[in-house]
Chains A and B, each alone.
Chain A
Amino acid sequence: MGATFETIVFGVLAMFIIVMSVLTVTTGRIVRSATYLLFVLLGTAGLYFLLGYTFLGSVQIMVYAGGVVVLYVFSILLTSGAGDKAQKARRSRLFAGLVTSVAGAALVLFITMTHHFVPATGNEIPVETGINNIGRMMIGSGKYEYILPFEAVSIFLLACIVGALLIARKR
């Protein structure tokens, strides 16, 4: 019963994400596109919570749904694209894009469905990693620990801050 409930919730979340992402790329107004993107990101966070990765879901909500979407809405308002509808692409370009996407999706779906995934051996029930363990792994320097990407991302963020300030400063 637990497995089927999980399947139902996954099915609902997956349909929600698919519908919202298709609406994101086909709508004419860009503010609506940003709103549908917000729903897609919240649906993705829901998928992470369903997998048992609560920290990842929380980071997704805080960073993506709370930061990136606000950034997009502000930039849309700053570049004043909010009012006008997007002009439709040329018919041939729309059709070529649609054929490419559908063909690619069909290929990836075929490969995914016919691949024989080896399930995980070992019957331990996956226990969710506590936040103290995640923190310890993030700044540890052992074999499976992540101090190097952590420091690299911090330098990357510094470079992005300096770069964004330099690009967008007032002349």
Chain B
Amino acid sequence: MMFAGIYGFFTRHNMLAMLISVELMLNATDINFAVFNRFLFPAMKEGYFFSLFSIAISAAETAIAIAIMINIYRNVRSIQTKDIEDMKW
């Protein structure tokens, strides 16, 4: 799932599709933390709580990124990566 997210992040033009790929990467790491906690340290809870807080933070970061996308759409009328290259040198 992590590498599917990396592939999607590299090859997609639509910025919302890039955000969806970032969600895939974040989910993959959450699963990783939870599984390591369960099988290697079953008496501790650190990985479990890390996954919990990571879910909360990822949701908030997605909301901010989508707000930025909507603002870009209002100004540039497009959310493809090749249309926002004004500040690129």
Contact surface of A with B, Cβ cutoff 8 Å: 17-18, 21-22, 24-26, 30, 33-34, 37, 40-41, 44, 47-48, 51-53, 55-56, 59-60, 63-64, 67-68, 71-72, 75-76, 78-79, 81, 86-87, 89, 93-94, 96-98, 100-102, 104-105, 108, 117-120, 122, 124, 126, 129, 137-138, 144, 146, 149, 153, 156-157, 160, 163-164, 167-168
Q: A interface, by DSSP: helix, strand, loop or mixed?
A: helix
Bound form: Cα–Cα A78–B70 in Å: 8
User: A163-B67, A167-B64 known; A24 and B4 CB under 8 Å?
Assistant: yes
Is the beta-carbon distance between B5 and A156 smaller than 8 angstroms? no
A56–B52 CB distance below 8 A: yes
CA distance A108 to B29 in the complex (A): 13
Total contacting residues, chain B, CB less than 8 A: 57
Whether A64 pairs with B55 at a CB distance below 8 angstroms is yes
CB within 8 Å for A25 and B7 given contacts A63-B55, A64-B55, A157-B56? yes
A-contact 0/1 string along B21-33, CB 8 Å cutoff = 1011001001100
Between A and B, 24 residue pairs with Cβ closer than 8 Å are A21-B5, A21-B24, A26-B8, A30-B16, A33-B17, A51-B38, A60-B55, A63-B56, A67-B59, A76-B16, A81-B16, A89-B12, A96-B10, A98-B11, A101-B7, A104-B6, A105-B3, A120-B42, A122-B43, A144-B44, A160-B64, A167-B67, A167-B68, A168-B70
For the complex, what is the distance from the CA of A64 to the CA of B23, rounded to whole Å? Answer: 9
Q: Chain B residue with minimal CB distance to A51?
A: B38
Check A79 against B44 for contact (C-beta < 8 Å).
Answer: no
Given known A-B contacts A25-B12, A118-B40, A101 and B20 have beta carbons under 8 A apart: no
Q: B residues touching A (Cβ–Cβ < 8 Å)?
A: 1-8, 10-14, 16-17, 19-21, 23-24, 27, 30-31, 34-35, 38-46, 48-49, 51-53, 55-64, 66-71, 73, 79
* Secondary structure of the B contact surface, majority rule: helix
A-B residue pairs, 10 tightest by C-beta = A25-B8, A97-B10, A101-B7, A105-B3, A21-B4, A160-B60, A164-B67, A126-B42, A97-B11, A167-B67
